[in-house]
């Protein structure tokens, strides 16, 4: 096979108990390994699926984020390209010739053998579903020992290309051949009305230069497939199938847009900065027209024949940007994200390998097989959605994208209205170039932000459930002006707790250390960590009281309560529960855009990608929960989120208004926000981070140790802590119990390393952490412990 082998091809191997597996060729060499090798059975691809630069990228990611290449391959490849071994049960001759099965077998085992005798073979997975054998593996072993059945391993191909039926006209009967065309009509005959109708429809499509798609022509001619077959029998046409990509190639509406003077200056500044800096940060207030600058840069890079990767934090939530890009680039654009089915993702993968130049995607699109990457744009670079939490690799797409760009010697543009502190510091230290857009595109002023004191409103009796009187009045006034309202609450469901009012018992998930959230729509309780649902308890299991109530506030409750106080208002909710599926978000956004919704209630989903000219009011229902989360980034995240949400108001033709309900009027984050003192807030945060040894002045490595038994996780963590402490001293914090100390039956303990910004030291530290953990795991008591290493936790 040596002449057929190349880097990036998938191959088939047999791996002991695992059976058939697929692997990717990562290196071709003559270094004899110290372990026993497995032979390659076959090559699965005609051309490499990934290139050498992608493998370099995987190798860097494996080293930096402390994960295996296999974990990266799992994250990178679309599911349909990850073939898995499948076991098939075959009937042997002894079973086929056996006539007395009923004497020695009974029940489901007999039914299984009778079925296999007739059908000759069945996949093991299908057998498990079809036959409820008492203990499947035990029964199967018993059957195998008789010699009736044997097992064959085969690879299961998941990807199915889309096939489209086409029609080709026999050249002898083309309309330009007058004699031949007359002959075709004679062959059909005057009595075959449907055949004539279909034939003339095919000719019409041909003369109009349209593709002769079988389905479209049959629908247009209003005949069935049998009529088409008749024309084929008369040799007038040939029928064939061809593979077709599932990628949407439609073009959107083109937007004739002229740069403002500020945008022109910003665009030229970015070009100039790229002469010295590979990374430029574009900070522009919400509504300043950053997207148009992106479009202009994309157009210029594509003229050079290079590819552009446009990263968005959550692709399904950014329909407006995608629509605008389609209008500009149409068929030369691929969208890639997890909402697509496995076959669609493979088609997108192939498009990137061919000639598509613009790739728009969420964080996973950094793994695509780019040909010649010229530019990476990271929009909303501050957004926490760029950080992968579980499973490994726990990478940050923004940081990984900057390394990826270095492999292609390409440029990077980071865009945001509220930079991350890491990017802000890189600007201050002159590592990144910096360009600023201070004004909105239309010249409209930024909205006025006002704080509403919930404690004061409650004292004066002006609180209506969860709404202050002034907020309800502002909502009504905005709607009377034919404008729209956005209400923000960063918690989905109806209420976050179901509690006994007598003894304070709270309904919690059996598998996770977290309270159930009540969902009124389905009248059930749900854990938002493992997604398990349960019915509401009628009686408290602790004190047997029946005084149980839902407590707290979620988007569902806001939607419900607002209808009580403003019944004539058209209210819709936008959160993860209602925006499921590929088009769920788009449906709601389309209705809001058309003015069919007066008030949109949502989670942080509404802070991204919204660009509506009629939003006059944005209100934050409960700001306090954003400000008191126990995390060193909580102030930064709260400021960014509130600023982004506020930016949805008054974007086009009128100055908007923002109302924030809170009990913490004097909180520094809110004070900086109200006065639009972004630089002062960032400088204050940087001072505190430096003083207390946090990023961006130090590098963090968070280590979680997990086990189903609390005693084992405590003991293993303590031993690991002592080993780390001897090596790293004051740099190690912990062990501590996280806010949610148990998830999906696993108890969790946490350690944290704070490291100076020395690349050599950080690299050595990572190796030591892995080696010390292997020492802990060598004790059989801790062999089943799991570890999660999160480099640069976000």
- Structure confidence by residue, pLDDT tens digits, 340-356: 777 888 888 888 988 89
Give how far Cα 292 sits from Cα of 508, 531, 625, Å: 48, 40, 35
- Exposure of 94 by Cβ count < 10 A (0-12 exposed, 13-18 middle, 19+ buried)? exposed
- How many CB atoms within 10 Å of residue 445? 11
263 compared with 319, residue with greater pLDDT:
263
The Cα diameter of the chain in Å comes to 96
Range name among 36-50, 81-95, 446-460 with the lowest pLDDT average: 81-95
**In degrees to the nearest 10, what's the CA dihedral of 543, 544, 548, 554?**
70
Q: What confidence category does residue 411 fall into, taking pLDDT thresholds of 50, 70 and 90?
A: very high
Average pLDDT over the chain, rounded to an integer: 88
Point out the least confidently predicted range of 149-163, 589-603, 611-625: 149-163
Mean pLDDT of 276-305: 91
Strand partners, 282: 415, 435
Residue 196, Cα to own-chain centre: how many angstroms? 51
Tokens, residue 76: 């990178």
pLDDT at 84 over 80: no
Q: How do residues 243-287 score in pLDDT, each as one tens digit?
A: 777 777 666 656 667 788 888 999 999 999 999 999 999 998 887
Q: Residue 203 in contact with residue 187, Cβ under 8 Å?
A: no
Cα-only R_g, the chain: 31
- HSE at residue 563, side-chain half, CA atoms within 13 A, is 12
What pLDDT shows up at residue 130? 80
Provide the pLDDT for residue 151.
78
Q: Are the C-beta atoms of residues 502 and 552 closer than 8 Å to each other? A: no
Residues 20-60 have pLDDT tens digits of 788 899 999 999 989 888 888 888 888 898 889 999 999 99
Percent of the chain with pLDDT over 90: 49
Each residue's pLDDT tens digit, 382-401? 999 999 998 999 999 999 99
Residue 765's SS3 state is helix
C-beta of residue 692 within 8 angstroms of C-beta of residue 635: no
CA–CA gap between residue 625 and residue 620 (Å, rounded): 11
Determine whether 645 is exposed, middle or buried from the number of CB atoms within 10 Å of its CB (0-12, 13-18, 19+).
buried
CB-count burial class (<10 Å; 0-12, 13-18, 19+) for 173: buried
Q: Above 80 in pLDDT, residue 362?
A: yes
Position 734 confidence tier, pLDDT thresholds 50, 70, 90: confident
The pLDDT score that the predictor gives to residue 751 is 96
133 has a pLDDT exceeding 70 = no
| Domain with residues 699-791, CATH architecture | 2-Layer Sandwich (3.30)
Over residues 428-451, mean pLDDT: 85
- Packing angle of the helix pair 634-646, 678-691 (nearest 10 deg): 170
In the 8-state DSSP scheme, what is residue 78? -
Res. 606 pLDDT band, cuts 50 70 90:
confident
- Name the least confident of 70-79, 140-149, 273-282: 140-149
Instruction: State the CATH class of domain 261-437.
Output: alpha beta
Kindly tell me if the per-residue pLDDT of 299 is higher than 90: yes
Query: What are the angstrom distances between the C-alpha of 344 and each of 204, 539, 583, 622, 784?
Result: 32, 49, 15, 40, 38
Q: What is the pLDDT of residues 462-478, one digit of tens each?
A: 888 889 999 999 999 99
Residue among 208, 201, 198, 205 at smallest CA distance from 234: 198
Return d(Cα 270, Cα 259) in angstroms, integer. Answer: 15
What CA–CA distance (Å, rounded) separates 250 from 719? Answer: 59
- Output the pLDDT for position 507: 93
Confidence band for 339, pLDDT divided at 50, 70 and 90:
confident
Mean pLDDT of 537-541: 92
448-491+567-689 is classed CATH 3.40.50.300: yes
DSSP line for 462-502: -EETTEEHHHHHHHHHHHHTT-EEEEE-S--SSBSEEEETT
Structure tokens belonging to residue 391: 């499973």
Query: Over 80: is that where the pLDDT of 498 sits?
Result: yes
Q: Are 318 and 609 contacting, i.e. CB atoms less than 8 angstroms apart?
A: yes
Task: Please check whether the two domains, 448-491+567-689 and 699-791, share a CATH topology.
Answer: no
What residues contact residue 210 under an 8 Å CB cut-off, 6+ apart? Answer: none
Predicted local distance difference test score (pLDDT) of residue 175: 85
Residue labelled with tokens 């290309």: 161
pLDDT at 256: 67
Q: Locate the domains of the chain by residue range.
A: 10-51+61-84, 85-156, 171-235, 261-437, 448-491+567-689, 496-551, 699-791
Secondary structure of residue 716 in the 3-state scheme = helix
Angle at 549 between CA 544 and CA 552, to 5 degrees: 140
């Amino acid at each position: 096979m040596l002449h057929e082998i190349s880097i990036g091809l998938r191959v088939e191997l047999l791996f002991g108990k695992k059976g058939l597996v697929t692997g990717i060729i990562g290196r071709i060499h003559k270094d004899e390994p110290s372990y026993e090798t497995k032979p390659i059975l076959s090559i699965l691809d005609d051309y490499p699926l990934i290139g050498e630069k992608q493998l370099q990228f995987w190798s860097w990611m494996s080293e930096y984020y402390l994960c295996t290449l296999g974990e990266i391959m799992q994250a990178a490849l679309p599911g349909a390209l990850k073939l898995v071994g499948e076991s098939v049960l075959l009937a042997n001759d002894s079973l086929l010739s056996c006539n007395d099965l009923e004497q020695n077998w009974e029940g489901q085992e007999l039914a299984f053998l009778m079925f296999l005798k007739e059908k000759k073979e069945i996949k093991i997975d299908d057998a498990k579903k079809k036959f409820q054998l008492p203990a499947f593996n035990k029964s199967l072993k018993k059957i195998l020992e008789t010699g009736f059945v044997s097992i064959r391993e085969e690879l299961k191909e998941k990807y199915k290309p889309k096939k489209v039926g086409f029609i080709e006209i026999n050249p002898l009967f083309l309309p330009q051949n007058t004699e031949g065309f007359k002959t075709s009509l004679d062959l059909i005959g005057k009595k075959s009305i449907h055949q004539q109708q279909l034939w003339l429809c095919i000719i019409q499509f041909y003369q109009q230069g349209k593709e002769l798609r079988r389905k479209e022509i049959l629908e247009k001619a209003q005949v069935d497939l049998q009529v088409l077959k008749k024309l084929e029998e008369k040799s007038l046409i040939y029928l064939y199938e061809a593979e077709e990509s599932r990628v949407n190639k439609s073009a959107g509406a083109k937007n004739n847009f002229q740069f403002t003077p500020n945008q022109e200056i910003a665009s030229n500044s970015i070009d100039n900065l790229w002469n010295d800096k590979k990374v430029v940060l574009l900070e522009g207030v919400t509504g300043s027209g950053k997207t148009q600058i992106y479009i202009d840069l994309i157009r210029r890079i594509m003229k050079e024949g290079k590819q552009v990767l446009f990263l968005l934090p959550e692709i399904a939530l950014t329909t407006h940007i995608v629509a605008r890009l389609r209008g500009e680039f149409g068929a030369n654009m691929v969208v890639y994200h997890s909402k697509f089915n496995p076959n669609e993702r493979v088609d997108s993968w192939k498009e990137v390998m061919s000639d598509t130049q613009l790739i728009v995607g969420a964080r996973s699109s950094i793994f695509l097989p780019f040909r010649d990457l010229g530019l990476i744009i990271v929009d909303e670079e501050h957004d926490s959605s760029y950080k992968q939490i579980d499973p490994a690799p726990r990478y940050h797409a923004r940081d990984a994208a900057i390394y990826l760009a270095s492999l292609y010697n390409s440029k990077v543009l980071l865009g945001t209205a509220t930079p991350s502190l890491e990017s802000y510091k890189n600007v201050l230290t002159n590592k990144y170039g910096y360009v600023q857009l201070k004004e909105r595109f239309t010249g409209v002023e930024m909205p006025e932000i006002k704080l509403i004191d919930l404690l004061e409103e409650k004292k004066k009796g002006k609180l209506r459930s969860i709404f202050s009187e002034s907020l309800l009045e502002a909502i009504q006034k905005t709607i009377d002006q034919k404008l729209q309202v956005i209400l923000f609450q960063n918690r989905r469901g109806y209420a976050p707790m179901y509690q006994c009012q007598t003894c304070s018992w709270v309904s919690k998930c059996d598998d996770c250390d977290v309270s159930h959230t009540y969902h009124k729509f389905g009248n059930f309780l749900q854990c938002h960590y493992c997604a398990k649902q349960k019915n509401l308890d009628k009686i408290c299991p602790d004190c047997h009281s029946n005084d149980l109530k839902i407590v707290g506030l979620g988007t569902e409750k806001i939607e419900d309560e607002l209808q009580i106080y403003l019944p004539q208002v058209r209210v819709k909710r936008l959160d993860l529960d209602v925006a499921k599926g590929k088009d769920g978000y788009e449906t709601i956004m389309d209705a809001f855009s058309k003015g069919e919704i007066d008030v949109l209630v949502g989670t942080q989903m509404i802070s991204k990608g919204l660009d509506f000219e009629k939003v006059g009011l944005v209100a934050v229902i409960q700001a306090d929960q954003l400000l008191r989360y126990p995390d060193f980034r909580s102030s930064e995240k709260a400021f960014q989120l509130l600023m982004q949400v506020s930016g949805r108001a008054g974007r086009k033709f009128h100055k908007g208004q923002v109302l924030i309900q809170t009990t913490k009027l004097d909180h520094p984050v809110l004070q900086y926000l109200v006065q639009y003192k972004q630089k002062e807030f960032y400088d204050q945060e940087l001072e505190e981070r430096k003083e207390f040894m946090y990023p961006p002045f130090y590098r963090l490595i968070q280590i979680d140790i997990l086990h189903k038994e609390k005693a084992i996780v405590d003991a293993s963590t303590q031993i690991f802590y002592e080993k780390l402490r001897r090596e790293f001293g004051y740099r190690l914090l912990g062990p501590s119990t996280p806010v949610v100390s148990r998830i999906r039956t696993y108890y969790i303990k946490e350690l944290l390393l704070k490291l100076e910004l020395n690349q050599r030291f950080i690299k050595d530290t990572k190796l030591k952490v892995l080696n010390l953990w292997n020492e802990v795991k060598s004790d059989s008591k801790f062999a089943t412990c799991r570890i999660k290493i999160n480099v640069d936790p976000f």
